């Protein structure tokens, strides 16, 4: 580690281990499981923590373990489905807490480090640099206009803070990418910084118009988007979309990339019927997909 010992000693107490239980009937359970472990970081001394949303989505109970082994009940108080961040509140005061750093203050090549919770309530750290500040899209109807990729491998559980040389939280670890020069992807804290009051008051971004969601997984292959699968109970499954379907158009819009697919979907509101034209078994099929709101589906 290049980060100073003194800096590490200041940062580590602000990281906590997260243990979540989710009911078996929750729609996220088949994908993410009913027992989840993660990392969160304290961002104020009154017990507010920031983590990644997939750790707490559908949570029936949240247990937080501090560095000194103190165990506390947590409550999910905000979920931003578009960015993928979530906030947890715990009944504690006087916690070690860290400041947030907007991505506008970051630059490619800048040194960063990650501190994550690991097994047996240990904390592990790793360092590297920012290798990218660029758009990112994933296979589950998710994209960011600006994501942080780093050369630092995530040393523990998801939701860990990515920290700058001053110990400020610049992002929250979301994915282990494991590509050359891009080992970890983090969500910038920008949306939380910009909409903190709204998120904590309403539990979500009410000022952002709801957007259509269909519940498919997909990948890009040779300038085409291919359906990898559908989530049970979603509009995609109910409409008859199948793994292997090649998406040609949506509402007449030619689709060549995932970002094109997602932007086309998100121009619609939940409840809108979307006309998918797909290629399957050497034939073209038209499918009407009645979209939903992802936040309501996973509520």
pLDDT digits (tens, 9 = 90+) for 204-233: 999 999 999 999 999 999 999 999 999 999
Continuous H helices in the chain: 5-11, 29-32, 53-56, 190-202, 235-239, 258-266, 294-297
- In whole angstroms, what is the distance from residue 140 CA to residue 117 CA? 26
Of 58, 90, 122, the domain-final residue: 90
| pLDDT tens track for 29-66 | 999 999 999 999 999 999 999 999 999 999 999 999 99
Q: Confidence class of residue 3 from pLDDT cuts 50, 70 and 90? A: low
* pLDDT(254) > 90: yes
In this structure, are 154 and 179 located in the same domain? yes
In this structure, are 178 and 234 located in the same domain? no
In this structure, are 186 and 240 located in the same domain? no
Domain of residue 234, CATH code = 2.30.42.10
In this structure, are 250 and 227 located in the same domain? yes
- Phi then psi dihedrals of residue 270, to 5 deg: -55, 140
Count of CB atoms within 10 A of residue 242's CB?
A: 17
- Backbone CA torsion sign across 82, 35, 77, 38: negative
Domain residues for 21?
Answer: 5-90
Q: Which of 85-99, 105-119, 185-199, 238-252 has the lowest mean pLDDT?
A: 85-99
Q: Is residue 96 part of a domain?
A: no
| Mean pLDDT, rounded, of the chain | 95
Q: Is residue 97 part of a domain?
A: no
* pLDDT(92) > 90: no
Between 93 and 183, residue with greater pLDDT = 183
In this structure, are 188 and 254 located in the same domain? no
Of 143, 165, 200, the domain-final residue: 200
Q: Is residue 206 part of a domain?
A: no
Q: What is the pLDDT of residue 233?
A: 94
Q: Is residue 182 part of a domain?
A: yes
Q: Confidence class of residue 193 from pLDDT cuts 50, 70 and 90? A: very high
164 and 127 Cβ atoms separated by less than 8 Å: no
Q: Confidence class of residue 180 from pLDDT cuts 50, 70 and 90? A: confident
Q: Is residue 49 part of a domain?
A: yes
Q: Confidence class of residue 2 from pLDDT cuts 50, 70 and 90? A: low
Domain of residue 168, CATH code = 2.40.10.10
pTM for this one?
0.94
Q: Is residue 108 part of a domain?
A: yes
Q: What is the pLDDT of residue 4?
A: 80
Of 149, 168, 200, the domain-final residue: 200
* pLDDT(1) > 70: no
In this structure, are 169 and 229 located in the same domain? no
Q: What is the number of structural domains in the chain? A: 3
Q: Is residue 70 part of a domain?
A: yes
In this structure, are 64 and 117 located in the same domain? no
In this structure, are 181 and 266 located in the same domain? no
In this structure, are 177 and 246 located in the same domain? no
């Amino acid at each position: 580690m290049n980060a100073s010992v003194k800096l590490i000693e200041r940062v580590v107490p602000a990281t906590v281990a997260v243990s979540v239980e989710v009911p078996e009937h929750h729609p996220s359970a088949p994908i993410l499981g009913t027992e989840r472990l993660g990392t969160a970081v304290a961002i104020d001394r009154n017990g507010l923590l920031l983590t990644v949303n997939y750790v707490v989505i559908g949570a029936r109970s949240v247990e937080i373990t501090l560095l000194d082994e103190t165990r506390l009940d947590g409550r999910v108080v905000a979920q931003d489905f578009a960015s993928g961040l979530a906030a947890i509140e715990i009944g504690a005061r006087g916690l070690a807490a860290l400041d947030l750093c907007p991505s506008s203050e970051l630059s490619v090549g800048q040194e960063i480090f990650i501190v994550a919770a690991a097994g047996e309530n240990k904390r592990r750290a790793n360092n590297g640099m920012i290798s990218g500040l660029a758009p990112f899209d994933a296979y589950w109807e998710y994209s960011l206009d600006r994501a942080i990729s780093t050369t630092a491998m995530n040393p523990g559980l998801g939701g860990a803070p990515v920290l700058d040389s001053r110990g400020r939280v610049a992002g929250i670890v979301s994915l282990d990418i494991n590509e050359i020069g891009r080992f970890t992807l983090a969500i910038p804290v920008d949306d939380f910084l910009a909409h903190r009051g709204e998120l904590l008051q309403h539990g979500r971004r009410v000022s952002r118009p709801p957007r259509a969601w269909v519940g498919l997984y997909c990948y890009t292959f040779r300038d085409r988007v291919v359906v990898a699968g559908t989530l049970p109970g979603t509009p995609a499954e109910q409409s008859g979309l199948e793994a292997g379907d090649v998406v040609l158009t949506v509402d007449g819009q030619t689709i060549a990339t995932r970002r094109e697919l997602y932007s086309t979907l998100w121009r619609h509101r939940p409840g809108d019927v979307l006309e998918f034209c797909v290629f399957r078994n050497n034939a073209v099929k038209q499918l009407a997909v009645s979209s939903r709101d992802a936040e309501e589906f996973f509520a």
